[in-house]
Amino acid sequence: MMNFVVKTLANAGALGVAIWLLQDITLTGDSTGKKVLTLILVALVFGLVNFLVKPVVQLLTLPLFILTLGLITLVVNALMLLLTSWLAGLVDLSFHVEGFWTAVLGGLIISVVSWALNVVLPDGD
C-alpha cells in the first residue's frame, strides 16, 4: 500500500512540474485545495493508464521499439499523457494537454521527474 501512495505522489509531483513548465498543459481550479485534489486524481488516472494500457501498447510496438532503439517510448509516453487528458475530460477533471508535441515534451518531463522522485522517496511495502 505504501508503494502505491509513493508512486501516486511521485506521479502527482511529476505532473505538477510538467504543468508548471509547459503552458499548453493546464490544470484549473477555484482554489489551491481543489487544484491539489484534481492533481492527485489526475495522477491516479495517469497511474491507471500506465498500469493497464501502456504494457499492451508497448507489446504491440515492440518491433518499432527495436527498430528505433527505444525512441518510440517517447511517443508511447505522449500517447499515455494524451489518453489521461482525454479520460480526465470525461470524468470532468480540469486537466488538459494541448497537442501531440506538448505531450511528447510533457511525457519526457514527467518520466525524468517521476524517476528522480521515486529514487528520493521511500519505497517500503
- Taking the complete model, does pTM exceed 0.85, yes or no? yes
Q: Tens of pLDDT along 70-125?
A: 899 999 999 999 999 999 999 999 999 999 999 999 999 999 998 898 888 876 65
Instruction: Say if CB 19 and CB 38 are below 8 A apart.
Output: no
* Secondary element (H or E) of residue 110: helix 100-120
**CB contact set of 39 (below 8 Å; sequence gap of 6+):** 12, 15, 16, 19, 27, 95
Q: Tens of pLDDT along 33-77?
A: 899 999 999 999 999 999 999 999 989 999 999 999 989 999 999
Query: CA separation (Å) from 99 to 79, 81, 105, 110?
Result: 10, 11, 10, 16
Set of cell numbers at residue 4: 502505491
